[in-house]
Amino acid sequence: MVGESPYLISDLDKRSRRRSFAERYDHSLKTMIPMRPYARLAPNPMDDAGLFSFATFSWFTPMMVESYRHTLTADTLPPLSPYDSSDTNAQRLRVLWDQEVAMAGPEKASLGRVVWQFQRTRVLMDTVVNILCVVMAAIGPTVLIHQILRHTESDTRSVWVGVGLCAALFATEFTKVLFWALAWAINYRTAIRLKVAVSTLVFENLVSFKTLPRISVGEVLNVLSSDSCSLFEAALFCPLPATIPILMVICAVFSFFILGPTALVGISVCSWRSSTRLSGGRPSP
């Protein structure tokens, strides 16, 4: 384990011993439990929240009630999550950067690869959640609503079939919203960890220098403020469009069965126009 903090989740420690799956993802797997009723009694309710509480941010409700009744102070606020602390994330990012320098050399070391390794697991989980959200969003309008309309036009209508279709539509819409909220919750924590890790690591390196002959004070402030905010926004928003191709494939297949091959021609033309305008830097009308 790197450092003294017991909460550091890293793929490799300083002795290059690869940790087991349970050691790395024990805390994250506990978050997949649907309900953890004793989470509100924990020092930090976000770390011990269940799946529904984490996705809907309901772990924040007791704090909101307390702020309505009394004024919140530094003593009444829960402590910072150790998983989001600057010390933990900066140490993990430094270990990954040292490994990148050792493998590729100081000249060819890539910060992009290090940042990807830092948030890879969480981005992949967010992509899976977004795919499930897209699937649920497609099933409702394309399948269930079509079946409900056919059922209302049928001469032999069964009440239980109609109730079942309505219940299935509600379940898909509820699941879609839940997965969408879960994706945002994952992205927010990923962005927070990446921002504090990069900012802390840059600050520590700057403090270790006696002088800064090749960089100005304005550039330093820009890295610690504007660039770190850009990293935060990139980690927050970039994983979301990853499911657009999957959504386009689902829409294309459904349109093909409903409208025939003509739908594929229309989708191809729209995709080509969008790609050419984006590559040319011109916004679509």
Residues 185-190, mean pLDDT to the nearest whole number: 92
pLDDT for the residue 8: 42
pLDDT tens sequence across 16-40: 456 666 667 777 777 788 887 776 6
pLDDT for the residue 283: 45
pLDDT for the residue 178: 92
Provide the whole-model pTM: 0.78
Check: CB of residue 95 under 8 Å from CB of residue 2. Answer: yes
SS3 content of the chain, % helix, strand, coil (to 5): 75, 0, 25
pLDDT for the residue 32: 80
With b for 16 or more beta-carbon neighbours within 10 A and e for fewer, the 44-66 pattern comes to bbbbbbbbbbbbbebbeeeeeee
Range from 74-88, 162-176, 192-206, 262-276 that averages highest in pLDDT: 162-176
pLDDT tens sequence across 69-127: 888 887 878 888 888 888 889 998 999 989 899 998 888 888 889 999 899 889 999 99
| 101, two tokens | 């320098």
Name the burial class of residue 29, with classes exposed (0-12), middle (13-18) and buried (19+) by CB atoms within 10 angstroms of its CB.
exposed
Residues near 178 by beta carbon (within 8 Å), at least 6 away in sequence? 52, 55, 56
Whether residue 51 has pLDDT greater than 50: yes
Domain ranges of the chain: 117-262
pLDDT for the residue 45: 80
pLDDT for the residue 28: 76
**DSSP letters for 125-149:** HHHHHHHHHHHHHHHIIIIIHHHHH
Confidence band of 2 (pLDDT split at 50, 70, 90): very low
Closest by Cα among 83, 187, 88 to 129: 187
Whether residue 237 has pLDDT greater than 70: yes
Whether residue 271 has pLDDT greater than 60: yes
pLDDT for the residue 11: 42
Residues 135-162, mean pLDDT to the nearest whole number: 84
DSSP class of 38 = G
